Structure 1
Amino acid sequence: MSKNIIAFIGAGNMSRAIIAGLVANGYPAKNIIAANPGMGKLEALQQEFNIQVTQDNVQACAQAELVVLAVKPHLIQSVCQQLAADVDLTLKCFVSVAAGVNIAPMQSALGFAAPIIRCMPNTPSQLGLGVSGMFASNEVSEEQKQLASRLMASVGIVQWLSSEAQIDDLIAVSGSGPAYFFAFMEAMQAKAMALGFDKQQARALVQQTALGAAQMVVENSGEEIATLRENVTSKGGTTQQALMTFADGGLPQLVDKAMQAAKDRAIDMAKDNA
């Protein structure tokens, strides 16, 4: 990988996940700097990964070629304004991992048409199993795009999107998606306990079943997911009865409705932060 300096503005879980992935994949720790108001998270990052740390956003940004904006969405514009006031941003590229903040208001806050990449990673990135949807503004160079790809590939797979609007679609699928599966697993665990398994047993059964099912999808990429479902479903058997119950309860329609609601909320958040 290149020796570009990467600055993280914000030292939360996502920054930590990306930094861990970068270092594990051989990116020089000395070329990574994290900035955060409080020293607690910074000291932990420095101790674990031997990166540079500072409580000064301006100092971190001034050193970097790629600046990762990893603060809460409502803070993005004020952080951009702070950086624009005190740093020459001409040759810098920004990667925003904040949901619901479009490129246009960030460029406005930075004071010029800055190269900005919007990135929507999900929480399994903390395990290196994430999905990151990415969209680059017209000002982003191919070299900057490649560096951003390497950045996020360190914590999972990267999908480049053809329009910024697709970020909202991706939020509905993979951004919010882990919680859908957690909710389903939570309901299965509750029923397993009602059937007589203790909490530990119920969790072990549910989590291993979910892990095995997901891995079967991964290992059988040439098969439709529907085919894998059909392979488990014997005519007149227990699985068919359960799946018929899901269908009668409108599960496909409910999933559709829930994912649309997530997308609609993402659109509303972008309007709020415009």
Structure 2
Amino acid sequence: MKITFIGGGNMAGAMIGGLVRQGFPADQLHVVDPELIKREQLVTQYKVTASAPEEDLPVSDVVIFAVKPQQLRQVAQAALPRLGNALVVSIAAGVRAETISRWLGGYSRIVRVMPNTPALVQAGISGVYATAGVSSEDRAATETILTSIGKVVWLKEESEMDGITAISGSGPAYVFYFIESLQAAARAQGFAPEVARELAYETVAGAMKLAAQSEDDVATLRVKVTSKGGTTERAINAMENSQVRATIIAATQAAAARSRELGDELGRDSEL
């Protein structure tokens, strides 16, 4: 299976690295990127092949559009004459399959993917939607690529991509925001910056490891930590009184709404 990445940024690099570590032959991976430095880095690190956009696109089984949403229309239309019968995989946030198909002259073998940044350490989770023209073999090829960077959730409806974007796509930023806040709280208690960082990082990492390995759900684990009349109960009550849970839910709803707006905006642009 020959895979071509159009765009050699962080996510493409994560996928390439994950595939190579899993034993995928590097000579079957190709990268197209306008920046010579990026091409040289990927060639040196992973022994893949690379080319500039103006060069001929190699015949491929899978073409992955790993570019920014605003760049996708131009990139897709430039790739169309050389696309052949490849499976098209897009990781451009917000750009709907119908829009990509229109840019590709009605192309029907399209998979949309919303990965997240933990993919950079092979700990990501990707929401995936396939159009009707995607075969079971295409799905298997997509699985091979995406499981190299983490786990995969297949979606029945493309509209679910907005929720995926809000929860797992943007989700790492919410976790980082909480860690920032926990560090700030530790500093407010008088701890030195390096101690505050260690306390915050290890507490979050340890809690996540416990949650992942426990038979209890997170609500039960929280209750087990929260003794009646104790310090944790006082803290949880303060969060509830400040409507932290409701704020998180509202934040994800805002993210999903923005994802829908971006899809609408990019879809309108495609008709111009």
Pick the TM interval, shorter chain. over 0.9
Give 2:219's match in structure 1, choosing from 205, 226, 238.
226
Tell me how far 1:58 sits from its aligned partner.
Answer: 6.1
Which amino acid is the alignment partner of residue 148 of structure 2? S
- 1:267 corresponds to: 260
For residues 201 and 213 of structure 2, what CA distance do their matches in structure 1 show? Answer: 18
Query: How big is the shift at 1:242?
Result: 0.4
Tell whether 2:212 aligns with 1:215.
no
SS at match of 2:56: helix
- Aligned counterpart, 1:144: 138
Q: Is the 8 A contact 1:36 1:57 kept in 2?
A: no
Contact 1:11 1:42 in 2 (8 A): yes
Q: Secondary structure at the match of 2:67?
A: coil
Does residue 1:166 correspond to 2:160, yes or no? yes
Indicate yes or no: 2:112 matched with 1:118: yes
1:157 partnered with 2:151: yes
Deviation at 1:223, TM superposition (A): 1.8
Aligned residue pairs total 267
Residue in structure 2 matched with residue 77 of structure 1 by the alignment:
73
Task: Quote the offset at 1:57 in angstroms.
Answer: 6.4
Q: Alpha-carbon deviations, 1:60-97, whole Å to 9, x = none? A: 3x42110110011011111111112x3153x2111100
Q: Give the counterpart letter for 1:267 in structure 2.
A: R
SS at match of 2:12: helix
Q: Tell me the TM-score normalised to structure 1 length.
A: 0.95
Taking the TM superposition and a 5 Å limit, the aligned residue runs for 1:180-191 are 180-191=174-185
**Structure 1 residues 122, 57: CA separation in 2 closer, same or farther (over 3 Å shift)?**
farther
CA distance in 2, matches of 1:57, 1:95: 21
In structure 2, do the counterparts of structure 1 residues 88 and 33 end up closer, same or farther at CA, with 3 Å as the change threshold?
closer
Task: Write out per-residue CA displacement over residues 195-253 of structure 1, whole angstroms, 9 at most, x where no aligned residue.
Answer: 11111110011000000111111112x32110011111111111111000000000111
Q: Which amino acid aligns with 1:50?
A: K
Letter in 2 for 1:192: A
Among candidates 29, 32, 35, match of residue 35 of structure 1: 32
Does the alignment pair 1:253 with 2:249? no
Kept after mapping to 2: 8 A contact 1:58/1:87? no
Q: Is the 8 A contact 1:9 1:57 kept in 2?
A: no
Whichever residue aligns with residue 199 of structure 2, its letter is L
Which consecutive residues of structure 2, in runs of 5 or more, have no partner in the other structure?
268-272
- Give the Cα–Cα distance (whole angstroms) in 1 for the partners of residues 83 and 232 of structure 2: 62
Q: Is the 8 A contact 2:143 2:152 kept in 1?
A: yes
Question: 1:194: Cα distance to partner?
Answer: 1.6
Mapped to 1, the partners of 2:107 and 2:130 lie a distance apart of 12
Letter in 2 for 1:103: A
Instruction: Give how far 1:113 is off.
Output: 2.8
- Report if the CA contact (8 A) 1:35-1:57 is conserved: no
Question: Deviation at 1:46?
Answer: 0.6
Measure, in 1, the Cα distance between the counterparts of 2:83 and 2:110.
Answer: 15
Letter in 2 for 1:238: T
Partner residue of 1:15 out of 12, 25, 40 = 12
Distance (whole Å) between structure 2 residues aligned to residue 57 and residue 233 of structure 1: 61
- TM-superposed CA distance for 1:123, in Å, is 0.2
Q: TM-score, normalised by structure 2?
A: 0.96
Say if 2:108 and 2:132, in contact at 8 Å, map to a contact too.
no
